[in-house]
Chains A and B, each alone.
Chain A
Amino acid sequence: MPDAIWSQLGHQWESLPERLGGHIGLSLASLVVGILISIPLGIWAAKRPRVESAALLLASIIQTIPGLALLALMVFAWGRIGWLPAFIALVLYSILPMLRNTITGIKGIDPNLIEAARGVGMNDRQMLFKVQLPLAAPTMVAGIRTAAVWVVARLRLRSLWVPPA
């Protein structure tokens, strides 16, 4: 019996580097894709109250779905287990904090600065890159950090669905 445990442990130990790499890769990939979705969406939604409330509502609803249930949903939706359902579930989970913080960061900018930016003759693009994004950046980065923690915390989902190598 102890021998069986030790041999099993050795076996697991051998697969650690590969598993670790997979975990880091998956969390990074979901975070990057999450950023690519939520930050442009947040910038776009910040000026449109209806889009904003709809997007935040949807992201919040996704957040309330238990991890296992969402994963099961994804598996049914894609008809397979493994990397992809977990990836999509993690991307969906990462969206809320980044979306919310992007919107908060942009809407929180002093209206005087927006008036000044328009008054000196910045177009929408210049205003976004020279004023809005630099000033919203600290809030947005805080959102990315929260999302990173959430993604890593929910990574265990994947292990339930991937049989040991």
Chain B
Amino acid sequence: MIRLENVRKTWDGGTTFAVDGICWQASAGTVTALLGGSGCGKSTTVKMINRLIEPTSGLIEIDGQDIGNLDPVQLRRRIGYVFQGIGLFPHMTVFENVATVPKLLGTPASEYREKVNSLLEMVHLPTNEFGDRLPNQLSGGQRQRVGFARALAASPKIMLLDEPFGALDPVTRDALQSEFRQLQRSLQLTAVIVTHDMAEALLLADQILVMQGGKIIRSGSPGELLNDPGHEYVAQLLETPRRHSQLLRTLEANGLSTP
């Protein structure tokens, strides 16, 4: 469980707030999407959960523990982190990249080898074929799959994803999104995903938080948001996927009617 209470972040000593009083709770095993445009504070919010960024004020709890009292390095090893830049270590093989966190935790090689193999299997990059490759020998989608496997290597209960599919082509993105959803369900992960894509949020999340100017302006399940946007900005965000699907339907109908 993740709980944020009145969390604020300022970079300029209090003149402006990148994150301005966020209150929110995510129960275990759910996916929350933080949705909004550039500079709305969604990435900052998610990075405060693994303390890559320290909040200016407010409380962040994981399973009832104030993370401000935990060692940030230990905290991060318990939380899977996947981001748009992927950040695979170019001087390490695929296998070594995935083994990073177990190695940091001092797990003996005999124990983590099997774990890494099963994770690589799970992301469809079996060790015998891909384990010895270097990141630059992989496609973008394969790299992000390794990124997922690396984040999962220490069996975290929580996963933070900062625009994880942002740099991928639409077909790869679609495949990885559904793979992620399967992984998340089977491992019962509590996931927070940052995105600017309403369609992605609707497809992946149980709960969507729409952010603007550092504040949550609307929250709810995908169904609730579709039924009642409740805010002009949310309505605008919903407009794009709706228009696309309508357009496709029209095109399809026309295509079928003409011989």
Contact = CB atoms under 8 A, between A and B. Distances in A.
Given A119-B81, A120-B77, A120-B81, A134 B52 contact: no
Interface in B69-103: 73-77, 81, 83, 85-91, 100-101
Contact of A116 (B50, B73, B88): B88
A132 to B, nearest CB: 11
A116 B104 contact: no
A115 B52 contact: yes
B99 to A, nearest CB: 11
Counting contact residues on chain A (CB < 8 A from B), the size range is 10 to 19
Interface in B106-155: 150-151
Interface in B30-52: 50, 52
Nearest to A123: B73
Contact of B104 (A110, A115, A121, A135): A121
Contacts of B73: 121-123
Nearest to B50: A119
B145 to A, nearest CB: 15
Interface in A72-107: none
8 nearest A-B pairs in the assembled complex, by CB-CB distance: A116-B87, A112-B85, A121-B77, A121-B76, A119-B81, A112-B87, A123-B73, A134-B91
Given A119-B87, A120-B77, A121-B75, 17 more contacts: A112-B86, A113-B89, A113-B90, A115-B52, A116-B85, A116-B89, A117-B87, A119-B52, A119-B83, A120-B76, A120-B81, A120-B101, A120-B104, A121-B77, A121-B101, A121-B104, A134-B91
Interface of B: 50, 52, 73-77, 81, 83, 85-91, 100-101, 104, 150-151
21 contacts: A112-B83, A112-B87, A113-B90, A116-B81, A116-B83, A116-B85, A116-B87, A116-B88, A116-B89, A117-B87, A117-B89, A119-B50, A119-B52, A120-B76, A120-B77, A121-B73, A121-B75, A121-B101, A134-B91, A135-B90, A135-B91
